[in-house]
Every structure is written in structure tokens, then in C-alpha cells.
Amino acid sequence: METGQDLSDLSDIYAGVKTVLEAANTKLRVYTEPPSGAMQYPCLVMEQDITVDYGIALSGNSWDVRLPATLYVRHGKPEVAWQEIQKYVSPTGTESIKAGVESDNTLNNAVDDSELDGLVTVQRDIDDENRFWTFSARFVIHALETIA
């Protein structure tokens, strides 16, 4: 999406998040919609409950969008899964989600500016068979697009 277009098609923003984060971290798989089958770990799943601030759009010429996403890591040992998720929630480093978004804050030219709004929560779960620990971290990606 080029500057000056509207956000009527959010698929460009989702695609931009996927492109930027997978380029910054080759180990991470980004799903732009909930996967219909088994997920490949580690992965970031873009959620569909976005928030658009229409007040900004009506009072000016900018759209303010918040895109929630959940990161999942999985391992047989909880301490290994915990160490792995710490790399992703860290503000810096090659596996950092924040650093990945900041590597191209235009999200591959999909928006004018973006940032990681913050980490909402980290959770730990074990599967029904007590074989794998899954850690999840929920993020919010904040994007801003100016329209003509």
C-alpha cells in the first residue's frame, strides 16, 4: 500500500508484517490468519480482532490501526521453551519481535509508520498428553497510515 491510499484492504498490512518479521527472523513463521491445520513453531499468528481509530480518520487524514498477534513457541522441556520465548519478547536481538518490526517500520511500504505497542501477556500451557510445553506471548502492532 502506498502513502495516500486508504486501509480498506488490510491484507497489505498483514502481508507487510509477515514479510518484515520473516525477513528479520528466518526461524519465525508468521500466519496472517488463523491456520487451518497444525502450526509450525515458533510462529506468530495475526489475530482478526483489529482496532481502527476512526476518530483520527474523521478529524484528519490518518488511520490508526492496532493489530493483535500471538507468538507461540513449543518444546518438550518447559525451561527450553521459556528461554526461547524470552528471545522473542526481548526488546533487542535477532529474534526480537520488537526489533523485527523496527527493522522496517513501514511494514514493507504497507503503512507510513508502525511500532510494537507492547507485550500484553505471556502464558504457559502443557498439551493434553503432557508432552509439550507451549509458551505464548500476545503483542499489539500499532500502524499509522496517512491518506490524501
Q: Per-residue pLDDT tens for 69-109? A: 999 999 888 899 899 999 999 999 999 999 999 999 999 99
Q: Is residue 79 part of a domain?
A: yes
Looking at the DSSP bridge assignments, the partners of residue 125 are: 134
The per-residue pLDDT for range 27-68, each reduced to its tens digit, is 999 999 888 888 999 999 999 887 877 656 555 667 788 899
Strand spans (E) along 49-111: 51-53, 62-75
Q: How confident is the model at residue 132 (pLDDT cuts 50, 70, 90)?
A: confident
pLDDT of residue 65: 86
pLDDT for 97 equals 94
Higher pLDDT, 79 or 10: 79
* Residue 21: C-alpha distances to residues 15, 31, 50 (Å): 10, 11, 19
Q: pLDDT tens digits for 14-35?
A: 999 999 999 999 899 999 988 8
Residue 61 lies in a domain: yes
| Structural domain includes residue 110 | yes
- CATH number where 64 lies: 3.30.2000.30
Report the C-alpha gap between 30 and 21 in whole angstroms.
7
What share of the chain in percent tops pLDDT 90? 45
Total number of domains constituting the chain: 1
Q: Which residue has the higher pLDDT, 118 or 61?
A: 118
CB 135, CB 126: distance < 8 Å: no
In a domain, 1, yes or no: no
- Taking the C-alpha atoms of residue 111 and residue 1, their distance in angstroms, rounded to an integer, is 7
Per-residue cell: 77: 522441556
This prediction's pTM: 0.84
Q: Which residues pair with 62 in a beta bridge?
A: 146
Establish if 5 belongs to a structural domain: no
* Residue owning grid cell 507451549: 134
Give the pLDDT score at 73.
Answer: 93
Q: Is residue 46 part of a domain?
A: yes
CB atoms within 10 A of CB 31: 19
Domain range for residue 72?
11-146
Q: Are 122 and 134 in contact (CB under 8 A)?
A: no
Strand 133-146, strand 62-75: pairing: antiparallel
